[in-house]
Chain A
Amino acid sequence: MGQGLEIRWHGRGGQGAKTAALLLADVAFKTGAYVQGFPEYGPERMGAPITAYNRISRDEIRVHSNIYTPDLVVVVDETLLHSVDVTAGLKDDGAIIINTPKTREEITGLLRGYKGRVYTVDARAISVETLGKNFPNSPMLAAAVAVSRVMDKESFIREMRTSYEHKFAKKPEVIEGNMRALTMTFEALAGDLK
């Protein structure tokens, strides 16, 4: 993979982990990068654990396998920590982001001794505040960009507005809420990312 960045997403069917991975590929593409965004398909149903992946690189991406030694893991649903080995293969100099109201100290015990950086984001609270419902994928996408630094905040926000205007052309009332969810996530993580 050379200098590329590899990301693995863990979520439950219906939470938008796959959509978040595809959106990340979309915005990273706009920075001129080579991108890959793909879900791992199984017997998909609401609530079942699902995995999605991203590769982002300055070089052409030729590998078509799943990702086994990611640089970043994003956990969209913290209940998965009990059933899925989310840190499997995660690089020690990498990072994991977990959607939880708990603090880093409270959650680290569930990470099977993972030595790398751990970030927590209360994506549910952010989503409920900005969208009135629990759609954790927008905050988790913002967190993935903030932690991986795959692109700077300003261009990410700009590109996401364009994406949302396209994606939500028929329900424009949700665009501002999603945009607020993104900026609130950056603010929430600002202290940890100094």
Chain B
Amino acid sequence: MPKKDRMSGNEAVAYAIRQVNPDVMPAFPITPSTEIPQMVSTYIANGQMDTEFIPVESEHSSMSATIGAEAAGARSLTATSSAGLALMWEELLLAASNRMPCALALVNRTLSGPININCDHSDSMGARDTGWIQIYAETNQEAYDNFIQAYPIAENKKVHLPIMICQDGFITSHAVQNIELLDDDTVKDFVGTYEPEEYLLNPGKPVSVGPYSISNYAMEAKKNQEIAMENSKEVILEVARKFEHISGRKYGLFEEYKTEDADYIMLIMGSAAGTAKQACDDLREKGMKVGILKLRVFRPFPAKEIADTLRNCKCVAIMDRCESYNGNGGPLSMEVCSALFKYKVSIEAVSYMYGLAGRDFTVDHVYDIFEETDAAIKGGTEPEQYKYIGLRE
């Protein structure tokens, strides 16, 4: 029986980790994800799970040890934020290219500087081209649900890629909110036992992991990695369908909230999507046809699916919580615009920057964005292409 409870996003992910009970968790603390390894080690100390917890001396080591354990044949994970993810940079690429289906519970926090502990997506966006699957959560519930789906996606034979389960630092990680928890047996059955085909601790079938590859073969390895990422899209949807059977909660590559007849759509990720949905309902009551496209899966990037959903609207506001310093907008905006061009969708697209380093994002900001979009479209003027929201005057 599912249980109604209340907990923070960090508690929810730690609870999911206890239920999944992976084999190995190396970790190094960093705000705001510290509570996850802290709670997991408490569960272990209390005998509620038997994961091997390895306290390491840095995030470079935590990801290295995660890869080592996974290569040995153990289901492995770590957790981190911000500079911790940056310090893992080299290993992130190794995890993906060596096709290690390990997991990372990421609690999004900005990167320096100025030094700041609050949320934006610059840590995970910096790792967007490392070959990891990336799934984002609006709520503590979604962070929990996404983590339970992580290994069935990553370990699928057509995928075999590492997976990053992201949630917004403090905004969901430290906010207590209602949640519905699955029971332990349901989660264990859903995730199943890890049976790696090839692993280092298998004397019957020796393999080498991470060897040098000459140019004659290396490019094929990279192409195979790309194929695996393409395959993961269908696997993510298949796992979501199975997850709906056990939870009643429906997930896709993204959520379409009142987009079907919308003139204006806001495309957004993470906790801010909830705020946007509330504002969307308020504006609908006033007769404005607006909708929200909440992106859940950023890697693989559902370019065609997004383009098809946006095809019939007049303007999309693309919301980035990470600067790219390229003069045109953030990474999400660049990828959406390229999808629109590639699939021949000719609509107005405006790049917005919001919520950097924890700057608050409110329903009023959403009203302002839709109202200025409406004014520009109705007035027949070209909307300004790249704007910051919530800057101090």
Contact = CB atoms under 8 A, between A and B. Distances in A.
A74 to B, nearest CB: 17
Contacts of B275: 62-65
Contacts of A37: 175-177
Given A64-B275, A65-B362, A41 B176 contact: no
Given A26-B6, A41-B118, A41-B170, A62 B176 contact: no
Contacts of B358: 41
Contacts, number: 62
A19 B170 CA distance: 15
B233 interface: no
B30 interface: no
Given A26-B6, A29-B6, A39 B174 contact: yes
A60 B170 CA distance: 20
B357 to A, nearest CB: 11
Contacts of B363: 63, 65
B172 interface: yes
A139 B177 CA distance: 23
A36 interface: yes
A37 B177 CA distance: 7
A65 B360 contact: yes
A62 B277 contact: yes
Contacts of B362: 65-66, 68
B117 A35 contact: no
B178 interface: yes
Contacts of A68: 362
A98 B172 CA distance: 29
B63 interface: no
Given A63-B275, A63-B363, A22 B170 contact: no
B176 A63 contact: no
B177 A63 contact: no
A36 B176 contact: yes
A22 B177 contact: no
Interface residues of A, number: 20
A25 interface: yes
Contacts of B171: 38, 64
Interface in A24-66: 25-26, 29, 34-39, 41, 60-66
A112 B204 CA distance: 79
Given A26-B6, A35-B6, A38-B170, A62 B175 contact: no
B277 A22 contact: no
A61 B271 CA distance: 12
B174 A38 contact: yes
Contact of A41 (B117, B177, B271): B117
Contact of B178 (A29, A63, A64, A65): A29
Interface string B151-193: 0000000000000000010111011111000000000000000
A26 B174 contact: no
Contact of B274 (A26, A39, A63): A63
Contacts of A36: 175-177
B168 to A, nearest CB: 8
B272 to A, nearest CB: 7
Interface string B10-23: 00000000000000
B42 interface: no
B11 to A, nearest CB: 11
19 contacts: A22-B176, A25-B6, A25-B176, A26-B176, A34-B178, A35-B177, A36-B175, A36-B177, A38-B175, A41-B32, A41-B117, A41-B358, A60-B178, A63-B275, A63-B278, A64-B172, A64-B274, A64-B275, A65-B361
Given A26-B176, A63-B274, A65-B363, 10 more contacts: A25-B177, A36-B176, A37-B176, A37-B177, A39-B174, A60-B178, A63-B363, A64-B361, A66-B360, A68-B362
Interface of A: 1, 22, 25-26, 29, 34-39, 41, 60-66, 68
